[in-house]
Amino acid sequence: MSIIVTAASGHLGRLVVEALIERGADPGSVIATSRDLTRIEDLAALGVRTAVLDYSRPSTIADVIGAGDVVVLISSDAVGQRVAQHTAVIDASAAAGASRIIYTSVLDAGRSDLILAPEHKATEEAIAASGVPATILRNGWYTENYATAIDVARQSGVIAASVGDGRVASASRRDFAEAAAAAALDDETAGRVFELSGNVAWTHAELADALTDVIGAPVRYQALSTDEHAASLRAAGLDEGTVAFVVALDAGIRDGALAHTSGELEALIGRPTTPLAEGLAAIAAQ
């Protein structure tokens, strides 16, 4: 049996591979995959096997997945194409007789109004229909998603958004990667759905306070209406599709889509989740 990690060249995927090794997986049992093997040469140096796997080329998927394998399906970043790409991996897993699929979904995917949720919900449904046992990891928000906020705060001292007083229970990407590794190494997680989020849900005013500490200069939160936010994004040169996506995402946060604190991430990784300020400081130090 092998543990196959898709999209291992991405931010989350490579951390999953590293976490598997740190948690005791035999490197030879881990297959890190990517469309481009040159992007995972550093992972090969850890002793793991590497293989080409391209979500858009089904033949590459079938060549990698074998009977009994555990497939860690890292969700694609191709908005609008995710369901087709994920289904290709799900179908190949079913055909090969994979023992389990571990999927990185989104928090409360079944009911969430978050703009990202429908593709994840459809993927979860495809996994259920495939008959392959699965562990669903409904990931909350990565603190790393606010990396650009650090730069903006340094330049202007202001972070502007249309999230109102909505809260975000973020955790570090490494926290979520450790959860995926823990699930892959524990067969008893099969058949379970985990709602994964940070231990503390914070507001953007609290984000501004944390950024103040990290950069050593005052940062304030500017609350915008949806229309004001859209206008500012257009003025910054963003196209209409991106503007619509960003304001819809903020609307979801405003309505509480990322505020849930379940404690399940801490339980799965065996330690408290990374606090916001600590996560931001690590990003700023890079």
Task: Please identify which residue in the block is written with the tokens 């089904």.
Answer: 58
Looking at the structure of the chain, the number of domains it has is 1
Question: DSSP 3-state assignment of 250?
Answer: helix
Q: What is the CATH number of the domain that holds 82?
A: 3.40.50.720
Position 210 scores a pLDDT of 98
The pLDDT value recorded for residue 286 is: 87
Domain assignment present for 10: yes
Q: Determine, yes or no, domain membership for 23.
A: yes
Check residue 79 and give its pLDDT: 86
Along the 286 residues of the chain, how does pLDDT read in single tens digits? Answer: 899 999 999 999 999 999 999 999 999 999 999 999 999 999 999 999 999 999 999 999 999 999 999 999 999 998 889 999 999 999 999 999 999 999 999 999 999 989 999 999 999 999 999 999 999 999 999 999 999 999 999 999 999 999 999 999 999 999 999 999 999 999 999 999 999 999 999 999 999 999 999 999 999 999 999 999 999 999 999 999 999 999 999 999 999 999 999 999 999 999 999 999 999 999 999 8
User: Can you give the residue range of the structural domain that contains 8?
Assistant: 3-141+170-197+261-271
Cα dist from 141 to 6, 30, 53, 176, 253, whole Å? 20, 26, 26, 9, 10
- Tell me the CA distances in angstroms from 276 to 66, 208, 285, one per residue in order: 40, 11, 14
Residue 282 lies in a domain: no
Residue 147 maps to a domain: no
User: CB of 38 within 8 A of CB of 9?
Assistant: no
Structural domain contains residue 212: no
pTM: 0.96
Is residue 276 a part of any domain in this protein? no
Output the six-digit token pair for 285.
């130090």
User: Do the domain assignments include residue 91?
Assistant: yes
